[in-house]
Amino acid sequence: MADVKTALVTGASRGIGRAIAIALAKEGMDVAVIATADSPAVQETVRLIEETGRKAYFAACDVSDFAACGACVTALLEEAGTIDVLVNNAGITRDKLLLQMREEDFDDVIAVNLKGAFNMTKALLRHFLKNKAGNIINISSVVGLMGNAGQANYAASKAGLIGFTKSVAKEYAAKGIVCNAICPGYIETDMTGQMPQAAREKLCAAVPMQRPGLPEEVAAAAAFLSRSTYITGETLRIDGGMCM
Ligand code: NDP
């Protein structure tokens, strides 16, 4: 059916990416799931998408690899026929105080979180231009807005993503392409589950709503932005009031 949209969500094996993939399927889109490798978690995301009645595609792709992103998008376009919504969600942390942070801790985080979004957006841009439409959602973080001790690499990648979002929005607004960023606060996923209990309690205490957010609460914002035809260059916080 030509009027069914397709979304590509990176880092959709679990956490926020999985919740976004399911939310977009519930919006009526087919969804391409990207993760580093096939796994039971990926298959669970695929199953949950199919449970909504939509089609799921899967591709293993390291988003930090420019050539791999190009090949992945080419293959998915061949298989799915179109991609209308791109969600750059894949992300990693390598938290350390700057004094202990190694060069590779900085490079790896920038490569996945920031360059990954560049790689995927570049890979899809010509297709969006040909379609005279495209919707890009970049998952940044409140840490990109306010900084965080122990996360200089991560905060730089997420702040960079906001600059990237606004630049892409300005460059392609006239071509029917919108590009927005979401800044989640403290969301309960594997990523935050790795943090020491004391650090999680400290984070929670900084949230006016006094609880962590759920991946589904971020996904609801992504679903809203996926319908956007006139919101572009926006940075939307989903953080329980953490970064007012
Ligand atoms: P998770 O650690 O739970 O999941 C990360 C996802 O990214 C996985 O699907 C993982 O795939 C994928 N991924 C990691 N590296 C790569 C790579 N090189 N190429 C492709 N996929 C990759 O993270 P969250 O769900 O918590 O976070 C999702 C996004 O939201 C991230 O960008 C994160 O920075 C951001 N965010 C999260 C917050 C939180 O509190 N949780 C707060 C603010 C922002 P695989 O399974 O193959 O490893």
| Protein residue with least CA distance to atom 6, ligand 1 | 11
Question: What pLDDT is stored for residue 139 in this prediction?
Answer: 99
* Residue 1 CA, ligand 1 centroid: distance in Å: 31
Q: Mean pLDDT, to the nearest integer, of 101-122?
A: 99
For 34-67, how does the pLDDT look when each residue is reduced to its tens digit (9 = 90+)?
A: 999 999 999 999 999 999 999 999 999 999 999 9
Distance CA 2, CA 183 (A): 32
Is the pLDDT at 17 greater than 70, yes or no? yes
The pTM of the full predicted model, rounded to 2 decimals, is 0.98
* Residue 174 CA, ligand 1 centroid: distance in Å: 31
Distance CA 126, CA 91 (A): 24
Catalytic residues, by residue number, are: 154
> Which tokens sit at 184?
């989640």
Q: Is 49 in the pocket of ligand 1 (CB under 6 A)?
A: no
For 166-213, how does the pLDDT look when each residue is reduced to its tens digit (9 = 90+)?
A: 999 999 999 999 999 999 999 999 999 988 899 889 889 999 999 999
Handedness of CA 188, 193, 195, 199 (dihedral sign): positive
Looking from the CA of residue 19, the nearest atom of ligand 1 is 25
The total number of structural domains in the chain stands at 1
* Residue 191 CA, ligand 1 centroid: distance in Å: 7
244 found inside a domain = no
Is the pLDDT at 218 greater than 70, yes or no? yes
Instruction: Reduce the DSSP state of residue 189 to 3 states and report it.
Output: coil
Q: Mean pLDDT, to the nearest integer, of 62-85?
A: 98
pLDDT category at 7 given cuts 50, 70, 90 is very high
Domain residue limits at 108: 6-234
Instruction: Reduce the DSSP state of residue 188 to 3 states and report it.
Output: coil
Q: Is 10 in the pocket of ligand 1 (CB under 6 A)?
A: yes
Instruction: Reduce the DSSP state of residue 53 to 3 states and report it.
Output: coil
242 found inside a domain = no
239 found inside a domain = no
C-beta of residue 184 within 8 angstroms of C-beta of residue 199: no
Is the pLDDT at 71 greater than 70, yes or no? yes
Is the pLDDT at 223 greater than 60, yes or no? yes
CATH number at residue 133: 3.40.50.720
Question: What pLDDT is stored for residue 1 in this prediction?
Answer: 44
21 found inside a domain = yes
pLDDT category at 2 given cuts 50, 70, 90 is low
29 found inside a domain = yes
Residue 188's alpha-carbon distances to 10, 122, 162, 211, in angstroms, are 18, 31, 22, 10
Question: What pLDDT is stored for residue 125 in this prediction?
Answer: 98
Question: What pLDDT is stored for residue 199 in this prediction?
Answer: 85
Return the closest-CA partner of residue 46 out of 36, 61, 31, 56. 56
243 found inside a domain = no
Q: Is 91 in the pocket of ligand 1 (CB under 6 A)?
A: yes
For 134-173, how does the pLDDT look when each residue is reduced to its tens digit (9 = 90+)?
A: 999 999 999 999 999 999 999 999 999 999 999 999 999 9
